[in-house]
Amino acid sequence: MPDVLVAGASGFAGALAARIVDRHPELTLTAVTSRSDAGRRLDDLYPHHRVPLVLGALDLDEVGPVDAAIVAYPHGASAPVVVQMRERGIKVVDLSADFRLRDVATYEEFYAEHPAAQLIDEAVYGLPELYREALRGASLVANPGCYPTAAILALAPLMPYLDDVVIDAKSGVSGAGRAPSEATHFVSADENLTPYGVGRHRHTPEIEQELGAQVTFTPHLAPLDQGEMVSCYVTLTEDLDVLALYQERYADEPFVELAARPPGVRDVRETNICRIHVHPDERTGRVLVFAVIDNLWKGAASQAVQNLNLMLGLDETAGLT
Amino acid sequence: MPDVLVAGASGFAGALAARIVDRHPELTLTAVTSRSDAGRRLDDLYPHHRVPLVLGALDLDEVGPVDAAIVAYPHGASAPVVVQMRERGIKVVDLSADFRLRDVATYEEFYAEHPAAQLIDEAVYGLPELYREALRGASLVANPGCYPTAAILALAPLMPYLDDVVIDAKSGVSGAGRAPSEATHFVSADENLTPYGVGRHRHTPEIEQELGAQVTFTPHLAPLDQGEMVSCYVTLTEDLDVLALYQERYADEPFVELAARPPGVRDVRETNICRIHVHPDERTGRVLVFAVIDNLWKGAASQAVQNLNLMLGLDETAGLT
Amino acid sequence: MPDVLVAGASGFAGALAARIVDRHPELTLTAVTSRSDAGRRLDDLYPHHRVPLVLGALDLDEVGPVDAAIVAYPHGASAPVVVQMRERGIKVVDLSADFRLRDVATYEEFYAEHPAAQLIDEAVYGLPELYREALRGASLVANPGCYPTAAILALAPLMPYLDDVVIDAKSGVSGAGRAPSEATHFVSADENLTPYGVGRHRHTPEIEQELGAQVTFTPHLAPLDQGEMVSCYVTLTEDLDVLALYQERYADEPFVELAARPPGVRDVRETNICRIHVHPDERTGRVLVFAVIDNLWKGAASQAVQNLNLMLGLDETAGLT
Amino acid sequence: MPDVLVAGASGFAGALAARIVDRHPELTLTAVTSRSDAGRRLDDLYPHHRVPLVLGALDLDEVGPVDAAIVAYPHGASAPVVVQMRERGIKVVDLSADFRLRDVATYEEFYAEHPAAQLIDEAVYGLPELYREALRGASLVANPGCYPTAAILALAPLMPYLDDVVIDAKSGVSGAGRAPSEATHFVSADENLTPYGVGRHRHTPEIEQELGAQVTFTPHLAPLDQGEMVSCYVTLTEDLDVLALYQERYADEPFVELAARPPGVRDVRETNICRIHVHPDERTGRVLVFAVIDNLWKGAASQAVQNLNLMLGLDETAGLT
Interface test with D, best of C109, C162, C193 (most D CBs within 10 A): C193
Closest chain D residue to the Cα of A185, Cα to Cα = D185
Q: How far is A185 from chain D (nearest CA, A)?
A: 5
- Which residues of B are designated catalytic? 146
Residues facing residue D293 across a β-bridge: D228
User: Among C319, C157, C114, which Cα is nearest to C250's?
Assistant: C157
Look at residue C48 in the predicted model and tell me its pLDDT: 95
Q: Does D266 touch chain C (CB under 8 A)?
A: yes
DSSP codes joined into one string, A112-127? -S-S-GGGGGG-EE--
Mean pLDDT along residues D277-302: 97
Look at residue B167 in the predicted model and tell me its pLDDT: 98
Query: Looking at D6, D31, D135, D146, which residue is catalytic?
Result: D146
Interface test with B, best of D40, D43, D48 (most B CBs within 10 A): D48
HEC secondary structure over chain D: CCEEEEECCCCHHHHHHHHHHHCCCCCEEEEEECCCCCCCEHHHHCHHHCCCCECECCCHHHHCCCCEEEECCCCCCHHHHHHHHHHCCCEEEECCCCCCCCCHHHHHHHCCCCCCHHHHHHCEECCHHHHHHHHHCCCEEECCCHHHHHHHHHHHHHHHHEEEEEEEEEECHHHHCCCCCCCCEHHHHCCCCEECCCCCCCHHHHHHHHHCCCCEEEEEECCCCCCEEEEEEEEECCCCCHHHHHHHHHCCCCCEEECCCCCCHHHHCCCCCEEEEEEECCCCCCEEEEEEECCCHHHHHHHHHHHHHHHCCCCCCCCCC
Taking 50 as the pLDDT cut, the residues of chain C under it are none
Look at B220 and A229 and tell me if their CB atoms are within 8 Å: yes
Residues facing residue C218 across a β-bridge: C168
Mean pLDDT along residues A122-149: 98
Look at residue C271 in the predicted model and tell me its pLDDT: 98
pLDDT tens-place string over residues D123-171? 999 999 999 999 999 999 999 999 999 999 999 999 999 999 999 999 9
Q: Is the dihedral of CA C138, C144, C150, C152 positive or negative?
A: negative
Q: Does D121 touch chain B (CB under 8 A)?
A: no
Mean pLDDT along residues A70-93: 97
Look at residue B99 in the predicted model and tell me its pLDDT: 98
Look at residue C102 in the predicted model and tell me its pLDDT: 97
Q: Does A19 touch chain C (CB under 8 A)?
A: no
Q: How far is B245 from chain D (nearest CA, A)?
A: 23
Look at residue A28 in the predicted model and tell me its pLDDT: 98
pLDDT tens-place string over residues A177-191? 999 999 999 999 999
Question: Does an H or E element contain B60, and which?
Answer: helix B60-63
Closest chain C residue to the Cα of D166, Cα to Cα = C233
Give average pLDDT by consecutive 10-residue segment, chain B, 321 residues: 97 98 98 96 96 96 95 97 98 98 97 96 98 97 98 98 98 96 96 96 97 98 98 97 98 97 97 98 97 98 98 98 88
Average pLDDT value over all residues in chain D? 97
Look at A173 and D190 and tell me if their CB atoms are within 8 Å: yes
Look at A264 and B218 and tell me if their CB atoms are within 8 Å: no
Look at residue A287 in the predicted model and tell me its pLDDT: 98
Query: Looking at A69, A81, A146, A278, which residue is catalytic?
Result: A146
Q: Cα separations (Å) of B221 from A269, B186, D34, D187, D249?
A: 17, 12, 38, 20, 46
- Contact yes or no for C169/C228 (Cβ under 8 A): yes
Look at residue B316 in the predicted model and tell me its pLDDT: 98
Query: Looking at C13, C138, C146, C265, which residue is catalytic?
Result: C146
Look at residue C242 in the predicted model and tell me its pLDDT: 98
Q: Does B77 touch chain C (CB under 8 A)?
A: no
Q: Cα separations (Å) of A259 from A81, A274, A276, A291?
A: 40, 10, 6, 10
Q: How far is B81 from chain C (nearest CA, A)?
A: 27
pLDDT tens-place string over residues A229-267? 999 999 999 999 999 999 999 999 999 999 999 999 999
Query: What share of chain A in percent tops pLDDT 90?
Result: 99
Closest chain C residue to the Cα of A321, Cα to Cα = C23
Closest chain B residue to the Cα of A197, Cα to Cα = B262
Look at residue D304 in the predicted model and tell me its pLDDT: 98
- pTM value is 0.97
- Res. D246 pLDDT band, cuts 50 70 90: very high
Q: How far is A53 from chain D (nearest CA, A)?
A: 21
Look at A191 and D225 and tell me if their CB atoms are within 8 Å: yes
